[in-house]
């Protein structure tokens, strides 16, 4: 009995040790998962920090900060960027420049803006048709420090008159057209411009390659037409030379026959020529 009790106690100790090992392994796995998650967060923050250093931002990277302080700076900058909001203006009032728009929206704490100008071709066509020489903008984006303010500005001003004083105010009777872009940041706008630039470059490459193919096609056709023309001319010359030879041969044959006929007639005449002997004259005596 004592031996059996000793065996049971040994088995319980082994099972308890195994459970302790499993608990330690589970704790180690949890710690590893936590470390992996923390390393992923640090990597993401480092990437955002690289993005910030590559662009012109308000983050001061000239200070001799350690890694933790830089990560904290990046976190604060990311949080500030998440608070910002952007509104989109699909139509700019005629000949309203960026300084005017900045002056009008400055009280709403706008930070950045970008107005897309019209193309040079459209501007030349407008001036050719009697328009003025001022630069016209097609669309624009305005960034506000607070997304709530941006939403309220877009909600209140969309479809409303620009207003203002009557004197020296060309845009008094124009209407605002704007809408808030949810989950849209300034980096997305930069990506859009880069994408549009790449699309334009690809289209230009495609158009150039198409023009080059057409040019090569027409050059090949012209070369083939030249070769065909030269071959036809040579063939005509050969045919004309052959016709001349045939004509010469026919003329020679005709001339030979004519000469033979003349010779035959001469021989015949000579053979069958009638000759008459003249009588000698007789003299009568008186």
What distance in Å separates the CA atoms of residue 169 and residue 98, rounded to the nearest whole number? Answer: 16
C-beta atoms surrounding 264 within 10 Å: 10
What distance in Å separates the CA atoms of residue 186 and residue 243, rounded to the nearest whole number? Answer: 85
Residue ranges of the chain with pLDDT lower than 50?
1-8, 10-22, 24-26, 55-62
What pLDDT is attached to residue 88?
92
17 in a structural domain: no
20 in a structural domain: no
**Tokens for 67?**
């890694």
What pLDDT is attached to residue 221?
87
Q: Does 162 share its domain with 105?
A: yes
Its domain, for residue 105, covers 84-184
219 in a structural domain: yes
Q: Does 95 share its domain with 156?
A: yes
Q: Does 107 share its domain with 189?
A: no
Q: What is the CA radius of gyration of the chain?
A: 53
What distance in Å separates the CA atoms of residue 230 and residue 121, rounded to the nearest whole number? Answer: 46
Q: Does 133 share its domain with 223?
A: no
- Cα–Cα distances in Å, from 79 out to 40, 73, 74, 181, 185? 18, 10, 9, 18, 12
Best CA proximity match to 115, nearest among 133, 135, 134: 135
* Burial class, 114, CB count within 10 angstroms (exposed 0-12 / middle 13-18 / buried 19+): middle
26 in a structural domain: no
25 in a structural domain: no
Q: Does 180 share its domain with 89?
A: yes
238 in a structural domain: yes
What distance in Å separates the CA atoms of residue 50 and residue 190, rounded to the nearest whole number? Answer: 16
281 in a structural domain: no
* Residues facing 68 on adjacent strands: none
5 in a structural domain: no
Q: Does 148 share its domain with 110?
A: yes
Q: Does 179 share its domain with 99?
A: yes
Please state the φ and ψ torsions of residue 176, each to the nearest 5 degrees.
Answer: -85, 140
- CATH (domain of 173): 3.30.70.330
- Percent of all residues in the chain with a pLDDT value above 90, rounded to a whole number: 6
**Tokens for 254?**
């005709």
Q: Does 242 share its domain with 155?
A: no
Identify the domain boundary among 122, 151, 184.
184
Please state the φ and ψ torsions of residue 138, each to the nearest 5 degrees.
Answer: -90, -50
What distance in Å separates the CA atoms of residue 94 and residue 177, rounded to the nearest whole number? Answer: 12
Number of domains forming the structure of the chain: 3
Is the pTM here over 0.75, yes or no? Answer: no
Q: How far is CA 8 from the centre of its chain?
A: 80
What distance in Å separates the CA atoms of residue 111 and residue 85, rounded to the nearest whole number? Answer: 10
What pLDDT is attached to residue 248?
78
């Amino acid at each position: 009995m004592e031996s059996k009790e000793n065996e049971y106690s040994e088995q319980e100790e082994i099972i308890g040790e195994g459970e302790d090992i499993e608990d330690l392994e589970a704790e180690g796995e949890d710690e590893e998962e936590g470390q992996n998650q923390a390393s992923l967060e640090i990597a993401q923050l480092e990437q955002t920090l690289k993005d910030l250093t590559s662009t012109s931002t308000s983050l001061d990277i000239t200070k001799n900060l350690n890694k933790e302080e830089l990560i904290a700076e990046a976190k604060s900058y990311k949080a500030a960027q998440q608070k910002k909001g952007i509104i989109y203006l699909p139509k700019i009032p005629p000949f309203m420049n960026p300084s005017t728009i900045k002056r009008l929206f400055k009280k709403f704490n706008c930070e950045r803006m970008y107005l897309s100008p019209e193309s040079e071709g459209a501007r030349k066509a407008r001036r050719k048709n009697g328009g003025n020489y001022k630069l016209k903008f097609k669309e624009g984006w305005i960034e506000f420090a607070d997304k709530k303010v941006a939403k309220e500005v877009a909600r209140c001003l969309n479809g409303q008159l620009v207003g203002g004083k009557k004197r020296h105010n060309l845009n008094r009777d124009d209407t605002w057209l704007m809408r808030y872009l949810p989950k849209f940041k300034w980096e997305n706008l930069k990506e859009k411009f880069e994408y549009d630039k790449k699309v334009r470059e690809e289209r230009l490459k495609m158009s150039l390659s198409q023009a080059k193919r057409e040019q090569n096609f027409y050059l090949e056709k012209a070369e083939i037409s030249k070769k065909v023309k030269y071959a036809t001319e040579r063939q005509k010359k050969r045919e004309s030379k052959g016709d001349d030879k045939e004509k010469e041969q026919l003329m020679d044959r005709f001339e030979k026959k004519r000469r033979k006929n003349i010779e035959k007639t001469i021989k015949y005449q000579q053979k069958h020529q009638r000759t008459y002997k003249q009588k000698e004259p007789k003299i009568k005596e008186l």
